[in-house]
Structure 1
Amino acid sequence: MVKRFEGKVALVTGGRSGIGRAIACRLQDEGATVITAQRGEDERFNGIAADFSDPTVPERVVTEVVERTGRLDVLVNNAGMMQEDLIEDTSLEAWQRNLAVNLTTPFLMIRAALPHLRQTRGSIVNTGSVEGLSANPRHAAYCATKAGLHGLTRAVAVDHGHEGIRCNAVAPGWIDTELNLEFGASQPDPAAFRRDIGRIHPIGRAGAPEEVAALVAFLAAEESGFITGQIYTVDGGRTAKLSLP
C-alpha cells in the first residue's frame, strides 16, 4: 500500500468502531500516526477518552494530540449520534444533545485544530450523511445536524483555503457497520431484510466501512490538493435512484 501519510499525524473522532475504525486503520496502514477520541478506551490507537457532549472536550483533545506528537496534519470529524423520534416527541434536551455531538463538536474541533493545521497545510474530512441531503422517517434531529455539518464543511473550505487548509465531507448511505448489522439481525426475517437492503441500491448491496475509509484517505491526502468544500455521497447509487410506485 502507498504510504501517503508517512510522517503525518491524524486525529479521528469516533474511531473505535464502525466507519471511524475503518478510517483510522486505513490512515495507519498508509503510514500515519493515528490517535482516536471517543467514549471509552481504544488501545490500538492510544485513544483519548472523550465525551463530546461536553463543549470543553474538543480543545482538550486537540491539545493532547499535539502535545503527544508535536503536530496535526489530518482531522477527521467522525463521532456522531442518531436518535429516532418525531419532532413532537423530541425533547429540547435530546435535540440539544444531537446538536452538541453532531455539529457543535466538529465546529469546536475545527476551531481548536486550525492553528496546527495552518502550520502543516492540513486537511479536514467530516463524516456527514445522505440524511444531510435527504431524510429517513423520524430522523429530524439527525438530518438537521448532518445538513448543518455539510454547510460547515463548505464554509471552512471558503474561509481557510488561502491558508492551505482543505475541508471536505463524505456522506455515507447504508453501511454495514456493527450497529447496522446488529439491527438487520434483529429483524423478524434477517435474510429478507438483507435482500431488501440490496434492492434499494443500484449496486445491489450495502456498503462496507472500508469503502468509505478509502475515500476519506483520498480526500485527506495531498493528491486531492485541488478538492475542497465538496460533499461526496457514498451510497451505492441509492440517492440517484427514483422509487417506483
Structure 2
Amino acid sequence: MFTPLSTLSPIRGQLWKLASGFALLVHPRHLARKFVRCFLLIQYTVICWCARYYRYCNTPAELVTAVEMALRGLVAIITGSSSGVGAGIALAFSKEGAKLSLTGRNLKNLEEVVKDCKKAGCQDVLTNVGDITQDAFRKTLVESTKKKFGKIDVLVNNAGISSLCPLQSATKDQYDRMMALNVEAPLFLTQLAIPHLIESKGNVINISTAGTSTIAPGGGVYVMSKVALEAFTRYLAQELATKGVRVNTVNPGIVPSQMISRIVDDKGQAAEVEKAMIKATPMGRACAPEEMGHIVAFLASDKAGFVTGESFRADGGFTMTTPAIA
C-alpha cells in the first residue's frame, strides 16, 4: 500500500526518498539507460582527445612551439654569419623566434643563409655585407639594426680568421689580420652596441675555440687571439654586470666549416685535418653548426639569466683527452 509522504515524519520522509531513488537506480530500465549514457560519455571523451591530438600533429611547427621560443622577439646581431658556425647560430636563433641582423663578406652565401632562416620561420632579417674590421662598417651595422628593429638585445661576435703559422715564423701581416678580426673587431663593435644592450638588459656572446685549452701545432697566433677574446669576455662581464648585461664565451670543438679549408688549402690537407680532429674527439664526430647554434641560443636566453663571465666549452670531449694534435 502506498504511503503519502505528507503522512511521514521529516526523517522518515527523507529515508523514503532515498529508498525510492535507489529503487529507481537499480531498476533494469534505468540501469540500461545509465550504461548507454556512460558508454556515450566515454566515446565522446576519446573522440575529443583524438581530435586534439590530430590538430596538434597537423599544426605548423611555428605555432605549436610559439610559447616555447626562448628568443621570441629578441633582436640579435650575428657577425660572420654567411657560413659555418655563424650560419648555424642564425638558423638556431630563427627557430627560437629571434629577429636577425646578419653580416658577412660573402653576399651569395649570406643570401642562402637568409633563405634558410626564413624557411625556419624568421621573416625579420636584416643583412649588411662588409668588413667588420672597418670602423665605418661597424657603425653602419649597429645603426641600421637599431633603425630597423628599434633595439638590440644580443650581440654574437662570431666572425674570425685562422692561419697555420708557428710563432717562430709568424709574420707581422698574419698577426695583424688575426688580431684585427678576432680581437679588435669584437671589442670596438661591442663598444658601439653597449648603450643599446644596457637599455634592453641584453647580452654578448663571443665565439672562441676549444683550442685555448690544448695545443695544436701552428695555431699559436690564432689561439693567442682567442685567449685575448676570453679575457675580454671576463673583464667586460665584470664591468657590465651591475647594468644587467651578461657576457659569455662559447668554445667550439671541431665544426665543419670553410675556415679549415682556408687554413690548409695551400697544402690540400683540409679533409685530413678534419679527420684527425674528429678522431681525437671522444664522441667520434664533428659538431653540426646548428647544434652549436642552439648552445649559443641557450646562453642568449633568459634560461641562462644568471650566467655571465663564463667560457662554455662544447667540444665533444676534445680537450678532455687531447693535450696536442700531431
Q: Considering the TM-score relative to the shorter chain, is it more than 0.5?
A: yes
Is 1:235 equivalent to 2:301 in the alignment? no
Residue 140 of structure 2: aligned partner? 60
1:168 aligns to what SS in structure 2? strand
Counterpart Cα distance in 1 of 2:308 and 2:96? 21
Please say if residues 50 and 61 of structure 1, whose CA atoms lie closer than 8 Å, have aligned partners that are also in contact.
no
1:34 aligns to what SS in structure 2? strand
Residue 92 of structure 1: aligned partner? 172
The partner residue of 1:216 within 296, 308, 316 is: 296
Residue 4 of structure 1: aligned partner? 70
Counterpart Cα distance in 2 of 1:198 and 1:92? 31
Distance change in 2, residues 1:6/1:84 (3 Å)? same
RMSD, aligned CA: 2.3
Higher helix share: 2
Is 1:28 equivalent to 2:108 in the alignment? no
Q: How does 1:1-245 map to 2 (within 5 A)?
A: 1=65, 2-41=68-107, 42-43=110-111, 44=114, 45-180=125-260, 187=269, 196-241=276-321
Higher radius of gyration, 1 or 2: 2
Counterpart Cα distance in 1 of 2:282 and 2:156? 29
Superimposed CA distance per residue, residues 82-103 of structure 1 (whole angstroms, 9 cap, x where no aligned partner): 1111224322232112111000
What stretches of structure 2 of length at least 5 have no aligned partner?
A: 1-64, 115-124
Superimposed CA distance per residue, residues 174-200 of structure 1 (whole angstroms, 9 cap, x where no aligned partner): 11224548979x559x6x877644431
CA drift of 1:34 comes to 0.6
The share of aligned pairs that are identical, in percent, is 29
2:126 aligns to what SS in structure 1? coil
Please say if residues 77 and 152 of structure 2, whose CA atoms lie closer than 8 Å, have aligned partners that are also in contact.
yes
Counterpart Cα distance in 1 of 2:274 and 2:216? 18
Counterpart Cα distance in 1 of 2:289 and 2:90? 11
Counterpart Cα distance in 2 of 1:243 and 1:197? 12
Please say if residues 177 and 208 of structure 1, whose CA atoms lie closer than 8 Å, have aligned partners that are also in contact.
no
Counterpart Cα distance in 2 of 1:24 and 1:205? 22
The number of residue pairs the alignment matches comes to: 241
1:167 aligns to what SS in structure 2? strand
Counterpart of 2:82, as a letter, is R
Counterpart of 1:16, as a letter, is S
Q: TM-score w.r.t. structure 2 length?
A: 0.69
Distance change in 2, residues 1:32/1:242 (3 Å)? closer
What stretches of structure 1 of length at least 5 have no aligned partner?
A: none
CA drift of 1:203 comes to 1.1
Structure having greater relative contact order (Cα 8 Å, sep ≥ 6): 1
Superimposed CA distance per residue, residues 146-183 of structure 1 (whole angstroms, 9 cap, x where no aligned partner): 00000000111111011110000100111122454897
